[in-house]
Structure 1
Amino acid sequence: MVDTSKDSGTAAASLMEQVLYEVKKVVVGQDHFLERVLVALLAKGHLLVEGVPGLAKTLTVNTLADVIQGKFKRVQFTPDLVPSDLVGTRIYNQKTGDFSTTLGPVFCNLLLADEINRAPAKVQSALLEVMQERQVTIAGETHKVPNPFVVMATQNPIETEGTYPLPEAQVDRFMMKVLVGYPSEEEEFVIVSRVTGLMQAVTRVATTEQLVALQAKCHSLFVDPSLIQFAVKVVSATRNPAAAGLGDMQRFLTYGASPRASINMIEAGRALAFLRGREYVLPEDVLDVTPDVLRHRIVLSYEAISESITPDQIIGQVLKAIPAPEKPLEAHVRIAAAG
């Protein structure tokens, strides 16, 4: 097992490579999705995943929890779900005359909220506290969830009957929204071969304690102020496109992204740089995660929907209008980080 105490990004990145290698023993393809799951883990963010059924979303999270020796729980969201099914409740014991607290499935390391938009607003609101504060309040008592804690929620883009739109306050708490597509023919051949044959056992190569240490190390990566300024400008352009020279885009936007988007662009960029074995963030790290961070935070107007304009198209126009800062020299970055 890799020694994560070394003062270099190489050892930490090597451990994450081992984690990814073990997950890919079971999960075929979906490289972008898997990378974003690891980014969310390192950056302490939550993930919203949109994709049709059968694309290994549940299998990915379950396998990852096994590899890092964490606790995994899956909750199938349905219209009759109530908040206590999620966070827990107080139960009266007739023999003793006392109340005892039964904790719900959110008390785990990796929580899969399957088809999250099938539950009513009351259940969605129960997730708000635990996603933001990492704690649950039951009958006036506060209970902390385990560390690390990541929520991965899935949405089915096909069926809309019996679904509820997610509250904007909750959507904003997801660090990224990832779109998962169908595998290629070659990947699907491997999938069928694996599932119909002998499944490979995964090796537990890390612990939750190591992951917490990696999260702290990831948070210490150096970010040049020019990258923070770039993130703020991009997010600001989604609120006021005219200020960025994109006045014709204003009619397509009802609301832009919140300040959480700027923070998440930097934090996700940090995690991606960490996975790539660096101790500092480059512009391409932030650029790579920008669509995933912004696409669910942009509220389109009816005009945009009628013209089939997507959030990704708007993000693409914003990134064209606002150039990323030049890549700093590695030597200068190291001097600034040391200072």
Structure 2
Amino acid sequence: MVLRAPKELKFDPNQPRKDISEEAVKSLAQTYDSQNIINEPEIDENGKVITGELRIRASIKKNLKNIKCKLITGLTEVETFERQVIENLNHNDLNDKDKENAIRKLWESGSYKNKAELASRIGMTEKWVRFIIKLPEIRKNLGIKEVQNISPTSLIAIQSLTIDEQRKIVAKINSKQLKQGTELRELVVGIRKLPEDLKKAVLDVKKPIDLEAAKTIAVFPEEEQRGKFIREYQSLIRIKGEIAEDIKYHSEIIKGKRPRKKIIKDILQVKMEKLFKLKLSIFNQLSERYIDAIDNDEFKQKAFEILKEIFEFVKEELKKFDISTYQNVIEIKESE
């Protein structure tokens, strides 16, 4: 252990963490009022920082004259970088981009006989390291432009799917239909258990159906049966979208953001009636057409329960589009 003036220490421009924010420095510096530096930074024989750059920047911010440092000598450039990577990985301090660049840099140094050794040295799984190193190839297969806003973690999460499925998921993320993170992981796990027709419907960018709705529809064994449900659900989503656009459009008229035009309330009424009839058809028409055709009484009861579940789901979805939503629009004095 040695005492060093933090202002005299040199930061390593090659260290893996590239985004140390001023806010993080300020926040850590404030803790030095009540606590000393808990884990001493590491430096080499030349005064270059190996690990603990944030702590040293915080001590400079706090105008500390001297701080305790661990002196580590004789490290090669690769060994220094490896130590920095391990430190940052353990503290979750690397963003996805820095993490990817760091792992690839270590591998390309030629200091490891295989990916398993690299994974063991930095405390990660071999599978994870292999995916990280393979990311340039993955991006090339999916289209560099299309995946420029897709995180490495997300790209890794979809590797169990076919290339076509991966491309559809990337398109859904880019079109804001799907969020990266938990929502993406749940989708990947969920669609694995679906029949191909439902999987295709969930991944459809133009007319997607909800994963939970797909799981509900999946109980029906015949593709023709499922196809009818899929088309009905897609119609529901389309009409809901049209009504949502109407609400937005007429709200802008009310707020003066659009020129006031004659509002034809009959059109709104027709759309609401279509939506209501569609809701009824999902329960009534489909129950008559499909449940009655099922010979097995036990499965017939299950199918009926599923239809009721769909019916209740649709009913809840429709609440926000109750005709009363339009009341303030319809009652606007029409102008010619």
Smaller-chain TM-score range? under 0.3
Could you say which structure has the greater relative contact order, defined with CA pairs below 8 angstroms and 6 or more residues apart?
A: 1
Larger % of strand: which? 1
TM-score normalised by L of structure 1: 0.21
Larger % of helix: which? 2
Specify the structure having the higher radius of gyration (Cα): 2
TM-score normalised by L of structure 2: 0.21
